[in-house]
Amino acid sequence: MRKIMLSMIIILLIFSLTSCSLDRSNPLDPAGDASIKIPGKVMGLSYFKEYSPQNSIILRWSELPDADGYNIYRAYSLQTKKELIHTLEFSEVTEYRDIDLIYSGRYYYYWVSGYVDYPQGRLEGKLSDYIIVVF
């Protein structure tokens, strides 16, 4: 009887300790704060190229009504780190012209995401599907 009690206490102790989980303490985490709404995923990302007056890539996408703005990312390959190249402060603006092109004949990968501003910070939504541009 004593051994059974001891075993039960041990099992209860292990169970209670393993069931403890980490707090959702990030103020922008929707799982911790139900009032936080995640901006949707940017859809319809497309591009076209311009060669004059200077080489540039123009990106366009569909407007996100629940977003306060957009972040535009670029990388030279899928293995390299994405670089935030610009932040658009208005959700109505759904176009961006990238003129910071280094080499012609190079691959450029682009992603766009929407964000929402909260008093506790800026919450960025899911990144769009990437597009590849060969300039």
Partner 1 sequence: MRVSTKLRIIPSLFLLLLSCSLLYSQGPSPVQELSNPYKYNWHEESTRLDFRDSLTVSTSLLDDYDNLKQSSWTNALKSAVAPGWGHFSIGRNTKGQVFLISQIAILGTSLYYYERSMIHYRKYRNATNIDDINEHYDNAVEPYRRSNLFLGLFFVVWGYSIYDVMSETNRYNGELWNQIVEEEISRHSSIQITPTGISWRF
Which of 31, 134 has the CB closer to partner 1? Answer: 31
Of positions 17, 34, 102, 134, contacts partner 1 by CB under 8 A = 17
Measured CA distances, 28 to 32, 45, 57, 119, 121 (Å): 8, 26, 33, 10, 7
Closest contact distance (angstroms) between CB of 99 and partner 1 is 26
Residue 126 in the binding site for partner 1 (CB under 8 A): yes
Reference 76, options 49, 98, 94; nearest CA is 98
Cα 103 from chain centroid (whole Å): 27
Reference 72, options 51, 92, 42, 104; nearest CA is 42
Residue 30 in the binding site for partner 1 (CB under 8 A): yes
Residue 45 in the binding site for partner 1 (CB under 8 A): no
Which of 57, 113 has the CB closer to partner 1? Answer: 113
Which of 57, 123 has the CB closer to partner 1? Answer: 123
Distance between CA atoms of 63 and 73, rounded to whole angstroms? 17
Residues of the shown chain interacting with partner 1 in the complex, contacts defined by CB under 8 A: 10, 13-14, 17-18, 20-22, 24-26, 28-31, 38, 113, 115, 121-127
